[in-house]
Amino acid sequence: MTSSATEPLSILVVDDDDQMLRTIGDILRYRGYAPLGAPTGREGIEMASRMLLPPAVALVDLRLPDMDGIEVVARLRDVSALTEVLILTGNASLDSAVRALREQSYDYLVKPVAPESLLSSIDRAAERWRRKSAEAAMRESQERLRRMFDHVRDALFISDERGVVLDANPAACELADLPLDALRGAALDVVLGAPVSAPGAAGVRDEYRITTPSGATRTIEVSSSAFAPGMIVHSVHDLSERRHLEEELHQSRKMDAIGRLAGGVAHDINNVLTAITCYSEMLVAGLEGTDERREDVLEIRRAAQRAAALTSQLLAFSRKQILQPRLIDLNDIVGEMERLLARVIGEDLTIDIARDPELWLVRADPGQIEQVIMNLVVNARDAMPRGGRITIATANVSLARPHSHHHGIVEPGEYVTLRVTDAGAGIGEDVMPYLFEPFFTTKGQGKGTGLGLSTVYGIVTQSHGKIEVGSGRGTGASFTIYLPRAAGEGPAPARPASPPPSAIGGSETVLVVEDDEALRNLLVRLLSEHGYRVLAAADAESAMTLARLHLDEVRVIVTDVVMPGPSGRELADGVLALKPDLKVLYMSGYTGDALVHRGVPDPERAVLQKPFTTETLVRTLREVLDAPPAAH
């Protein structure tokens, strides 16, 4: 709005008298102004509205051919409120309009105008214009400053030299969790709960962790600089979100590394456990009912089963499980578990279930979600040895902004949440970072395995969900599972149960592919004993050769998923291309991503989870063989 000092001020002259226009123009130019002449009112208004900087002064003849001078003045006011108006009139005493103009405090000149009085009137008007526009510019810059102050995302505090808050912007009020009134006059280092750089020090940056009145913790960076005499501006940047992202990345890398290790160990141990289980079953079958050694062998088998339960938890953690996701309603799952949970928690505890009646659906493996709920409830129980109340609540949640919490960030979106809350001892900050690590437990020797929450973590992560933990020492704990809302109509009907197998054995030709030699030998032996003709290979390539040779006879391939060289899936796809009605049964200690992502969509591509028992093996194989052919 300001013009530079060197630029001449523009003066608009509106007069229909050509001679007059020229004379006034010359006088003004001589005085150092930039005159603009318009012979009609309309042209004068147009000229003014096209100017980037409207004229400082407008000199308007009251009598114009096209419109009344008063109207010209009014329209000019609309174009620029700052323009100073001077009226030129024929005869002051006779012109009634002049009185009206005076009331509106327009200055006026009576024709004929002496150059000196014209110039002194113009000079005064120009001076008024300069003052008014300087004030307007100042107001505007103050308003702009205030708008900036009010709208920047960083929190800004202005303090005096002793650190007493003079002013704060809305972001600062939000950060401090206090209204402006409460902030004014307070000591800034008390408000932030962190020392703030020495008064007067300019541009000092420091990072602090603060706790707001509502108990939220935040990581902030404060930088202070002298702003005006006796005033320091402190800009406080909330780093919490970035820190959370960094923490989440760090956490997920750590979990991935541990997961790979755990998954690998579990995979190998599962082969061993399968052999132990099946050989002990064979031994038992060969022993007389009265033989005392029977119990011993059964004990071996039970031990192997306990070990298998551990490896399956490790696999869950390593997110290498085969999930069978379906559209599910968490309310149904919680409802079905109610009685079981009541038994698990015992008599000193009660469970409250709060269901959101309009709950959206999620896509997840119902069995796995049951395990998540069970583990959380068991932990809640353990946290309240003297009894109390556990709450399970389901809800729909729409997040418009990222939601950050202790272990990371939940992206914006629609979620179904399941929250398990207890009133136990709570979880301390020192324990928080390790909560989901396998084998991390604070429970005494023989009491906890430290696998509960790592299983929860694995399942939830593999189901594309997130876990939020809310707790402090002494305030109980709450675990909230966020599962993405699934698009879809209603829960998929459960698959009709397959007809009971006609017989538990069979006589078909089976191609067994397994790289673990002990397990391969075991499979050959078991399947042969159940009547099957068995071909065996140690890897996909030799299996392919065998399949080509015996293409007509082979009815089913029983194959490991993960093997050195091509995977079981690649092998199956290869043979299926030659023989579309071939059946496939995968065996897996864990699975590669390809299988995980596709889930296990149809019964013809069943997966046998290692370790398995003889019974499961032969029954599943029979089911696969008896399933109707796939529609390719």
Binding residues for ligand ADP, per CB under 6 A?
A: 375, 379-380, 383, 422, 424-425, 427, 431, 435, 440-443, 448-454, 477
Distance in Å, CB of 247 to ligand ADP, minimum:
18
What is the spatial distance between Cα 341 and Cα 352, in angstroms, rounded to a whole number?
11
Residue 374 Cβ vs ligand ADP, minimum distance, rounded to whole Å: 11
Residue with smaller CB distance to ligand ADP, 453 or 556: 453
Within 8 A by CB and 6+ apart from 525, the residues are 282
User: Which CB sits closer to ligand ADP, 340 or 431?
Assistant: 431
Nearer to ligand ADP, 223 or 441 (CB): 441
Least distance CB 262 / ligand ADP (angstroms): 13
User: Distance between CA 289 and CA 97 in Å, rounded?
Assistant: 128
Q: Which candidate, 157, 170, 169, 153, places its Cα nearest to that of 235? A: 157
Report which of 566, 560, 568 is spatially closest to residue 268, judged by C-alpha positions.
560
Within 10 Å of residue 37's Cβ, how many Cβ atoms?
A: 20
Write down the least CB distance from residue 383 to ligand ADP, Å. 3
Which is closer to ligand ADP, CB of 416 or CB of 435? 435
Nearest-CA neighbor of 213 among 193, 233, 198?
193
Token pair recorded at residue 1: 């709005």
| Residue with smaller CB distance to ligand ADP, 106 or 439 | 439
Closer by beta carbon to ligand ADP, 318 or else 567: 318
Residue with Cβ nearer ligand ADP (131 or 473): 473
Return the number of the residue (409 or 425) whose C-beta is nearest ligand ADP. Answer: 425
Minimum distance of ligand ADP from residue 340's CB (angstroms): 18
Alpha-carbon gap, residue 161 to 183, rounded angstroms: 16
Cβ atoms of residues 487 and 499 within 8 Å? no
| DSSP 3-state percent helix, strand, coil across the chain (nearest 5) | 40, 25, 35
| Structure tokens belonging to residue 452 | 């509960």
Q: Find the shortest distance in angstroms from Cβ 421 to ligand ADP.
A: 9
- Nearer to ligand ADP by C-beta: 155 or 341? 341
Tokens in use for 607? 């997966």
CB of 252 or CB of 442, closer to ligand ADP: 442
Q: Which two tokens stand for residue 165?
A: 């808050």
Three-state DSSP at 360 gives coil
CA distance 150 to 520: 72
Rounded to a whole number of angstroms, the minimum distance from the CB of residue 407 to ligand ADP is 13
CA distance 93 to 173: 63
Question: In whole angstroms, what is the distance from residue 191 CA to residue 213 CA?
Answer: 9
Least distance in angstroms from the C-beta of 441 to ligand ADP:
3
Nearest approach in angstroms of CB 492 to ligand ADP is 31
What residue is closest to ligand ADP based on CB? 452
512: β partners? 536, 558
Strand ranges across the sheet with 388-399: 349-354, 388-399, 413-421, 477-484, 466-471
Q: How far apart are CB 590 and ligand ADP at their closest, in Å? A: 20
